């Protein structure tokens, strides 16, 4: 629906005041020319009103965008504006809610034709299902500005950025020598001898057990135990979010989780992601590939109910023994000893990445609350890492925080 912007603006007031003044002067001095000038000014205001409204009638707009993009990486969008009327339109401008800082101009829109307009923008992490267009026109003299808004499908998922790291020390045995990060079970291509089985087509002759084959009169092969990497559960706390749009503590947590997920998937660690939604409750994604993990992280929103205590309870339900839990959180106001106890009751190792709220608010020094949370977790024998705004994720995850470092 078309609407006029600033119905009574300074230009309208000026022209109407001038027309009224000319009319009063013409009445007093009986000057026909002043009557003519007064009438022309009033007609100018009325005609501009009508032309501006008419210029945005019969228009429609649609958007073409990629299905996926990464946050803060320029992406190209295309707007298609169609004029369903017989007469051309001029002096139009377009504003896309996905690109509020970009206002492409449509100098000329022929009658019953469509015009494409390309423009670039960057977007924060999230899922964009709908975003409106606004087509505006101030023709012919810029006195009135008429706008028509269209709701257009976006169908765009903006994924969190992540770092492709060759190694992740927080999952290596040396970062917690008391814990076992790998277990052997089942048949596979490991090194521990498990037994023998019948030969199957495609088995290498190097694993044929020749003595047993000679006794049986048929080929049998040696079977070894398969080495399976420790399962990793990444829990993202969505409560206690701080920071500016596009670079909040939850956005940083999503980037950290995406980096950890990428490493787990490339190194063979079975992965599970756990989060919280205030409407749906606990969110869990088991054994995702990288694309699924990134989409899951893109959909995460701030949730007051997603506290560390509640997510620790949910995590304890899902994880198995001898696995690793990595909790990424900016909510430092929690019972951290209780959180560690809830998770470690399942005989798992707890690693915690604290996103420093103070650096996202006003500065880069860790706040006293962050330090006390890290201390409480360290006293509970949990390995702690602290991430600060704009810090390298690789650098953050390469060395744990230590109380003696304060």
- Predicted confidence (pLDDT) at residue 11 exceeds the cutoff of 90: no
- Predicted confidence (pLDDT) at residue 76 exceeds the cutoff of 50: yes
82 preceded by a cis bond (ω within 30 of 0): no
Q: How far is CA 197 from the centre of its chain?
A: 50
Output phi, psi for 284, to 5 deg.
-140, 135
Q: Which CATH architecture has domain 1-159?
A: Sandwich (2.60)
Give the pLDDT of residue 77: 93
Q: Where are the domains of the chain?
A: 1-159, 184-229, 232-405
- Tell me how far apart the alpha carbons of residues 98 and 120 are, in angstroms, rounded to a whole number: 10
Span 232-405: which CATH code?
3.40.50.410
Give the pLDDT of residue 228: 56
Three-state secondary structure string covering 98-114: CECCCCCEEEEECCCCE
Q: How does residue 6 score in pLDDT terms, banded at 50, 70 and 90?
A: low
Give the pLDDT of residue 377: 72
Q: How far is CA 264 from the centre of its chain?
A: 20
- Predicted confidence (pLDDT) at residue 183 exceeds the cutoff of 70: no
**Helix-helix angle 249-267:290-298, to 10 degrees:** 170
Residues 265 and 271: beta-carbon distance below 8 Å: yes
Mean confidence (pLDDT) of the chain: 83
- Tell me how far apart the alpha carbons of residues 57 and 84 are, in angstroms, rounded to a whole number: 9
- Predicted confidence (pLDDT) at residue 225 exceeds the cutoff of 60: no
Higher pLDDT, 256 or 10: 256
- Predicted confidence (pLDDT) at residue 368 exceeds the cutoff of 70: no
Q: How does residue 83 score in pLDDT terms, banded at 50, 70 and 90?
A: very high
Residue 223's nearest CA partner among 196, 192, 241, 263 is 196
Helix, strand, coil shares of the chain as percentages rounded to 5? Answer: 35, 35, 35
Give the pLDDT of residue 219: 87
Q: How does residue 80 score in pLDDT terms, banded at 50, 70 and 90?
A: very high
The strand pairing partners of 384, in sequence order, are 352
Query: Which has the minimum average pLDDT: 3-7, 18-22, 113-117?
Result: 3-7
- Predicted confidence (pLDDT) at residue 167 exceeds the cutoff of 70: yes
Residues 113 and 82: beta-carbon distance below 8 Å: yes
């Amino acid at each position: 629906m078309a609407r006029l912007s600033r119905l009574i603006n300074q230009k309208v007031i000026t022209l109407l005041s001038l027309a009224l003044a000319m009319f009063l002067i013409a009445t007093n001095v009986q000057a026909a020319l002043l009557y003519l000038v007064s009438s022309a000014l009033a007609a100018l205001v009325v005609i501009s009103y009508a032309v501006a409204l008419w210029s945005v009638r019969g228009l429609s707009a649609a958007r073409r965008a990629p299905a996926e993009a990464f946050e803060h990486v320029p992406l190209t969008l295309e707007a298609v504006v169609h004029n369903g009327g017989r007469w051309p339109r001029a002096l139009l401008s377009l504003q896309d809610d996905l690109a509020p800082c970009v206002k492409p101009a449509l100098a000329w829109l022929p009658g019953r034709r469509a015009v494409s307009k390309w423009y670039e923008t960057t977007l924060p992490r999230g899922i964009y299902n709908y975003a409106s267009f606004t087509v505006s026109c101030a023709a012919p003299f810029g006195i009135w500005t008429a706008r028509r808004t269209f709701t257009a499908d976006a169908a765009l998922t903006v994924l969190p950025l992540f770092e492709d790291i060759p190694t992740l020390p927080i999952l290596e045995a040396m970062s917690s020598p008391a814990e076992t990060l790998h277990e052997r079970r089942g048949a596979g291509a490991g090194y521990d001898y498990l037994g023998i089985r019948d030969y199957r087509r495609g088995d290498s002759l190097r694993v044929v057990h020749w003595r047993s084959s000679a006794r049986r009169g048929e080929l049998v092969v040696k079977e070894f135990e398969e080495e399976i990497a420790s399962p990793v559960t990444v829990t993202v706390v969505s409560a206690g979010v701080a920071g500016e749009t596009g670079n909040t503590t939850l956005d940083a947590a999503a980037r950290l989780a995406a980096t950890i997920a990428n490493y787990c998937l490339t190194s063979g660690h079975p992965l599970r992601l756990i989060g919280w939604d205030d409407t749906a409750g606990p969110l869990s994604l088991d054994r995702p590939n990288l694309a699924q993990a990134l989409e899951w992280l893109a959909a995460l929103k701030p949730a007051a109910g997603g506290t560390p205590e509640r997510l620790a309870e949910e995590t304890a339900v899902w994880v198995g023994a001898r696995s690793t839990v990595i909790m990424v959180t900016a909510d430092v106001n929690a019972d951290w000893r209780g959180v560690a106890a809830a998770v470690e009751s399942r005989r798992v190792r707890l690693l915690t990445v604290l996103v420093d709220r103070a650096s996202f608010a006003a500065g880069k020094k860790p706040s006293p609350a962050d330090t006390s949370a890290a201390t409480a977790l360290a006293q509970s024998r949990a390995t702690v890492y602290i991430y600060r705004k704009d810090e390298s994720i690789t650098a953050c995850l390469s060395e744990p925080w230590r109380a003696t470092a304060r």
